[in-house]
């Protein structure tokens, strides 16, 4: 389902690029800074030598940064044993584990609480409480995002290993969970729609796609809904959904999906000859496996077996077979049938 060239693979909530090591080290460094500040301020309130505060702060930052570097190295070594997931760039990658960010956040929470209390006592004012309380609110927002991203990554890893039951459970939890971000819910619905579509539950897929109204997920959802309507032979609705997807702000990101649906739509409405003419015109080196498979079938039907083989080589045929499209799209099922001797 998540092959690199799968035209209908939904986007990930994760950033387009795997976070750099500097992002992890910065999170641990900032946590060390908060801990050092809390320790230094507390020492002054308790009457210790003020000169102790600076070494405490620098030492905390250094210790947490070193700890973050070690944690990163351990996590990257362990990541080699996890399945790669499809990123927004269409590549299989192993995202950083949420623990790399959750651990420094957990250390920062008691330090922020200490700063609220000690700062207010030291200044006899509520200003520190407001200041550091705002920092705590920001930390909570970041923790929510980390939790949402972690659940999505776990679901995508389950999909990669073929554990669809586990993936569906996690995606449904993400869809309704109070810790989920809006992007997380949208991505969960896209993947749930894709699961339903791959299993032939067209009505279920349509329900998920129709709930997505904001970008960037809406462009993927409209393209997915257009495919559903084609497979249901509701061609006028499919054409409307295609036009809607083409007019969306993020249409360039779903061009492969749109072209595939257009090819199937013309095939159902106008027949093989018109569909093949359009398919040959739209064919590019970046065309997805589903588009190439349908066009290969049209070439085969027209007697161009060699041309069909160029489009649907052994790798493409294997990917189409593993994707499950044959059980949903009759044209792919026909393509995968062995040629008569």
What's the angle, vertex CA 253, arms to CA 242 and CA 174, rounded to 5? 95
Give the tens place of pLDDT for each residue, 85-124: 765 545 567 888 888 899 999 999 888 888 888 877 777 7
Nearest to 2 by CA among 74, 87, 80: 87
Average pLDDT for 233-260: 86
Q: Which comes out higher in pLDDT, residue 133 or 11?
A: 133
Burial of 164 (0-12, 13-18, 19+ CB in 10 A): middle
Return d(Cα 153, Cα 118) in angstroms, integer. Answer: 39
Give the tens place of pLDDT for each residue, 247-273: 877 777 788 889 999 999 999 999 999
Helix (H) or strand (E) holding 233: none
* Pairing assessment for the beta strands 85-86 and 92-93 based on DSSP bridges: antiparallel
Helices 21-45, 53-79: crossing angle, 10 deg rounding = 150
The token duo for 171 is: 């995606």
Return d(Cα 271, Cα 188) in angstroms, integer. Answer: 36
Burial of 331 (0-12, 13-18, 19+ CB in 10 A): buried
Question: What band does 82 get if pLDDT is binned at 50, 70 and 90?
Answer: confident
pTM over 0.85: no
Return d(Cα 278, Cα 256) in angstroms, integer. Answer: 14
SS3 92: strand
SS3 86: strand
The token duo for 165 is: 């039951």
> How high is the pLDDT of residue 273?
95
Start-to-end CA span in the chain (Å): 31
CB 72 within 8 A of CB 103: no
């Amino acid at each position: 389902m998540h092959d690199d060239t799968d035209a209908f693979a939904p986007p990930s909530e994760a950033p387009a690029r795997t976070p750099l090591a500097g992002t992890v080290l910065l999170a641990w460094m900032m946590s060390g800074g908060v801990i050092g500040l809390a320790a230094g301020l507390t020492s002054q309130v308790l009457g210790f030598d003020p000169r102790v505060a600076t070494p405490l702060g620098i030492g905390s930052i250094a210790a947490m940064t070193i700890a973050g570097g070690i944690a990163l190295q351990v996590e990257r070594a362990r990541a080699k044993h996890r399945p790669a997931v499809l990123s927004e760039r269409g590549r299989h990658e192993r995202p950083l584990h949420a623990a790399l960010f959750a651990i420094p956040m957990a250390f920062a929470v008691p330090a922020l609480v200490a700063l609220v209390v000690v700062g207010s006592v030291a200044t006899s004012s509520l200003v520190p409480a407001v200041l550091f309380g705002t920092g705590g609110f920001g930390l909570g927002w970041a923790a929510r995002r980390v939790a949402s991203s972690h659940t999505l990554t776990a679901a995508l890893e389950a999909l990669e290993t073929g554990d669809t039951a586990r993936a569906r459970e996690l995606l449904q939890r993400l869809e309704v969970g109070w810790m989920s971000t809006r992007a997380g819910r949208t991505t969960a619905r896209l993947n749930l729609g894709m699961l339903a579509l791959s299993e032939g539950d067209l009505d279920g897929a349509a329900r998920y796609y129709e709930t997505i109204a904001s970008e960037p997920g809406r462009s993927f959802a409209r393209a997915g809904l257009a495919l559903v309507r084609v497979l249901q032979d509701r061609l006028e609705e499919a054409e409307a959904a295609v036009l809607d997807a083409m007019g969306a702000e993020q249409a360039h990101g779903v061009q492969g999906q749109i072209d595939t649906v257009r090819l199937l739509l013309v095939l159902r409405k106008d027949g093989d000859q018109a569909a093949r003419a359009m398919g040959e015109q739209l064919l590019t080196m970046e065309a997805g496996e589903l588009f190439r498979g349908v066009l290969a079938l049209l070439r085969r039907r027209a007697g161009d077996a060699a041309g069909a083989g160029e489009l649907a080589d052994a790798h493409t045929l294997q990917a189409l077979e593993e994707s499950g499209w044959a059980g949903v799209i009759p044209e792919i099922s026909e393509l995968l049938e062995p040629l008569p001797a």
